[in-house]
């Protein structure tokens, strides 16, 4: 049987390891790239190698940025009294796009997931406590999944049990309910239950 050239197979293997790309898509991508001019591939390769060279993790909030501390942490116009905890840098970006939050962030880079051997020590979680001075409200914006809920619960307990005057911080969880544009008819029971729990008075 006719085999693929090694250079092709090796690149297919690389693409296959990426999330959401199966063997068939990987094959299609590589054959698409074969029709690209050489300089395109070299350019792609350069962008890959410079990805980590030209980015740093902000040592304050652990966001991905070009400088540390990142522009959000150094922005003096942002509210210092609210902090939002998110799982991933992409969550931070999604919140920034919504343009409604103007406080500080803290990126955990994951959520507590015992099944995947991720405990609190594998996350950027301990140093949240050191950042809470002056913070009046802490918004827990971890995902509404089992892992995200567990992480939110863990952080709440951590702050409540900590010594010092952290007890006065208001801890909130982002609202759960029906996403805008959704159909009640097709909503799952848990979401509907949360939407009812989270109901607000009209005009509030």
Residues of the shown chain interacting with a copy of itself in the complex, contacts defined by CB under 8 A = 1-8, 10-11, 14, 18-21, 25, 27-34, 38, 41-55, 63-66, 70-72, 88-90, 92-93, 96-97, 99
Rounded to a whole number of angstroms, the minimum distance from the CB of residue 66 to a copy of itself is 4
Rounded to a whole number of angstroms, the minimum distance from the CB of residue 77 to a copy of itself is 12
Closer by beta carbon to a copy of itself, 53 or else 200? 53
H-run or E-run covering 192 = helix 189-197
CA distances in angstroms from 83 to 28, 88, 152, listed in the order given: 44, 15, 14
Calpha distance 92→112 (Å, rounded):
18
Closer by beta carbon to a copy of itself, 50 or else 172? 50
Closer by beta carbon to a copy of itself, 25 or else 113? 25
Rounded to a whole number of angstroms, the minimum distance from the CB of residue 31 to a copy of itself is 6
Closer by beta carbon to a copy of itself, 66 or else 157? 66
Calpha distance 75→112 (Å, rounded):
30
Q: Is 84 helix (H, G, I), strand (E, B) or coil?
A: strand
Rounded to a whole number of angstroms, the minimum distance from the CB of residue 116 to a copy of itself is 13
Cis peptide before 42 (omega within 30 of 0): no
- Strands 56-57 and 64-65 turn out to be antiparallel
């Amino acid at each position: 049987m006719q085999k693929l050239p090694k250079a092709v197979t090796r690149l297919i293997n690389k693409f296959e390891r990426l999330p959401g790309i199966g063997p068939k898509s990987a094959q299609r991508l590589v054959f698409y790239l074969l029709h690209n001019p050489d300089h395109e591939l070299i350019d792609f390769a350069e962008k890959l190698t410079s990805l980590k060279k030209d980015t740093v993790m902000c040592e304050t909030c652990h966001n991905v940025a070009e400088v540390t501390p990142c522009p959000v942490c150094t922005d003096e116009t942002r509210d210092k009294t609210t902090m939002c905890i998110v799982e991933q840098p992409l969550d931070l970006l999604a919140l920034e796009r919504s343009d409604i939050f103007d406080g500080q962030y803290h990126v955990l880079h994951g959520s507590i997931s015992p099944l995947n051997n991720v405990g609190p020590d594998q996350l950027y979680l301990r140093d949240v406590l050191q950042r809470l001075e002056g913070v009046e409200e802490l918004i827990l914006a971890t995902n509404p999944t089992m892992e995200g809920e567990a992480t939110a619960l863990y952080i709440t307990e951590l702050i409540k049990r900590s010594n010092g005057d952290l007890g006065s911080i208001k801890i909130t969880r982002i609202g759960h309910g029906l996403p805008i544009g959704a159909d009640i008819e097709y909503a799952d029971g848990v979401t509907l239950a949360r939407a009812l729990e989270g109901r607000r008075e009209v005009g509030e």
